[in-house]
Amino acid sequence: MARELKVAAAQVGAIDRDTPKTAVVSRLISLLHEAADSKVQLVVFPECTLTTFFPRHLLQAEELEAFFEHGEITDSPDVMPLFEVSRKLGIDIVLGYAERNPEGAGYNTCIYFSALEGRILQKYRKIHLPGTKEPFKEPDATNQLEKRYFTPGDLGFPAFRAPGLVSDAVKKGTVQAGETTAGKGDPIFGMLICNDRRWPEAWRMYSQKGAELIMFGFNTGGHMAHLWGGRKAMTPEQAKTEALFHSRLVQQSNSYMNACWSISSARCGKDDGKYDLIAGSAICDPEGHIVAEAQTEGDELVSAVIDLEDCRQGKEKTFDFARHRRIEAYGLINQQAGVSEPELLEK
Ligand code: CDT
C-alpha cells in the first residue's frame, strides 16, 4: 500500500556576515508559505540556516556568540515566528542552527519540529566535524573552523517516527501477535548534517533502525583548495563542479545502499559577495535516482511526492540486512578510526 507524503528542501541563498537572523527568518517564512501553496507537509532547511556560515571566520567572542542560539530554540524571539508559521500551516520542519548548551559547549545542531504536536520531536548534533582548529597561514585560504567552534555530537544517530504525515499508519496496540509491522507504521526518519553525509557509517546507523527518509542540510565550499587537497590543480569553476559531483555521489549512493529516500538542503550562493557555496539541493529515491533538484543558487523550494513503500524493494531484497549482513567480518570498523596498512613486501 502506498505511503505517500509531499516533502521539500528549502534551499537558502547568500547570507552576509552582518545579516540579522530576523531577516533570514523572514525569508524562511516566505519559503514555508510557498510550500503550503503546493501542499508540502515537511520542509528541510540547511545546516546553520540562520546566519552566514561563520566557521569560515576567525572570530572574537562577542561576534561569535551572536551566531549561536542560547537556550531552547523554540523560545528564541528571533526564531519563534518560524515555529508559529510551521504550526499554523501544518508543515513539519527540520532546522539547522549553532547551539550553545548551558555548560558552554557549542554544537552544530538540527531539530525536527512537528507542526501537529507543536514541539521538537528530535534533536541531532553533528558528529563528523570537518576542517581545522587553527586557521591556515595563507591569507587567501578559506577556513573551516568547525573543530574550533563545535564539539562532536553526543546524541548518536537517533531514528524516530513522525506523526500525522501518512494515512493509515499502523499504531502500537492495534497489532496482532506475530504480525509484521515493518514498513507500515508512521514514517521512520533520521537527520545528518553536511559532512556526515560523506560517512557511510552514519547512514548505516539510521538504516539499521529502519530509516525510510534521511534529511540533511549542508554548507559546502565551491573552492576550498586547502581543505579538499587533490592531485590536480583546479580552477575555481572546476573545483565547484567537482564538489557538486561529490555531493550528488554521496547522496545517491548512500540512498541506494540503505534503501531510503533522502533530502539534501543547501546554504548556497556567495556570502559577502565572495565565499562561494555550492547549491544542488536534491530529493533522492531509494534506488539512488534524483527525483527533484535545485535549478538556482538562491532561495528555492525543491519538492516532490515521495512514496515510502518504494523502500521495501531494497530493504527486503538486495539490502535485507538480517539475511545478508556479516557482522562477524566487520569488527575493524568499530575498533579503529585510522588506517593500518598491511606490512611492506620484502621485494
Ligand atoms: N559544513 C560542512 O561540513 N562542509 C564540509 C566541507 C568540507 S571541508 C573539507 C562538507 O563536507 O561539505
- Report CA-CA distances (Å) from 133 to 68, 69, 126, 143, 193: 18, 21, 16, 9, 19
pLDDT in tens, 35-86: 999 999 999 999 999 999 999 999 999 999 999 999 999 999 999 999 999 9
Single pTM value for the model = 0.98
Q: What is the pLDDT of residue 201?
A: 98
Strand (E) positions, 251-344? Answer: 261-266, 269-271, 275-277, 282-284, 290-293, 300-307
pLDDT in tens, 274-324: 999 999 999 999 999 999 999 999 999 999 999 999 999 999 999 999 999
Number of C-beta neighbours around residue 339 at 10 A? 5
Question: Does the pLDDT value for residue 174 go beyond 90?
Answer: yes
Q: Which triple of cell numbers denotes residue 39?
A: 501542499
Q: Tell me the mean pLDDT in the region 161-186.
A: 95
Average of per-residue pLDDT values in the chain: 97
Question: Does the pLDDT value for residue 233 go beyond 90?
Answer: no
Q: How confident is the model at residue 231 (pLDDT cuts 50, 70, 90)?
A: low
Say if residues 117 and 163 touch (Cβ distance below 8 Å): yes
pLDDT in tens, 331-345: 999 999 999 999 999
Number of C-beta neighbours around residue 270 at 10 A? 14
More confident position, 190 or 173: 190
Looking at residue 338, the DSSP 8-state letter turns out to be S
Is the CB–ligand 1 distance for residue 195 below 6 Å?
Answer: yes
Q: Is 270 a catalytic residue?
A: no
CA separation for the pair 124, 117 (Å, rounded): 18
Q: How confident is the model at residue 228 (pLDDT cuts 50, 70, 90)?
A: confident
Q: Tell me the mean pLDDT in the region 214-224.
A: 96
Q: How confident is the model at residue 110 (pLDDT cuts 50, 70, 90)?
A: very high
Number of C-beta neighbours around residue 232 at 10 A? 7
Q: Is 47 a catalytic residue?
A: yes
Considering 48, 194, 268, 284, which one is annotated as catalytic? 194
Q: Probe ligand 1: pick from 220, 224, 240, max atoms within 8 Å of CB?
A: 220
More confident position, 141 or 218: 218
More confident position, 151 or 232: 151
Ligand 1 centroid from CA 292, angstroms: 22
- Domains of the chain by residue range: 4-335
Q: Which triple of cell numbers denotes residue 260?
A: 531510503
Instruction: Choose which CATH entry (3.40.1500.10, 3.60.110.10, 3.40.30.10, 3.40.50.1220) describes domain 4-335.
Output: 3.60.110.10
Q: What is the pLDDT of residue 226?
A: 86
CA separation for the pair 171, 131 (Å, rounded): 44
Is the CB–ligand 1 distance for residue 130 below 6 Å?
Answer: yes
Percentage of residues in the chain with pLDDT exceeding 70?
Answer: 99
Q: How confident is the model at residue 227 (pLDDT cuts 50, 70, 90)?
A: confident
Percentage of residues in the chain with pLDDT exceeding 90?
Answer: 93
Ligand 1 centroid from CA 193, angstroms: 9
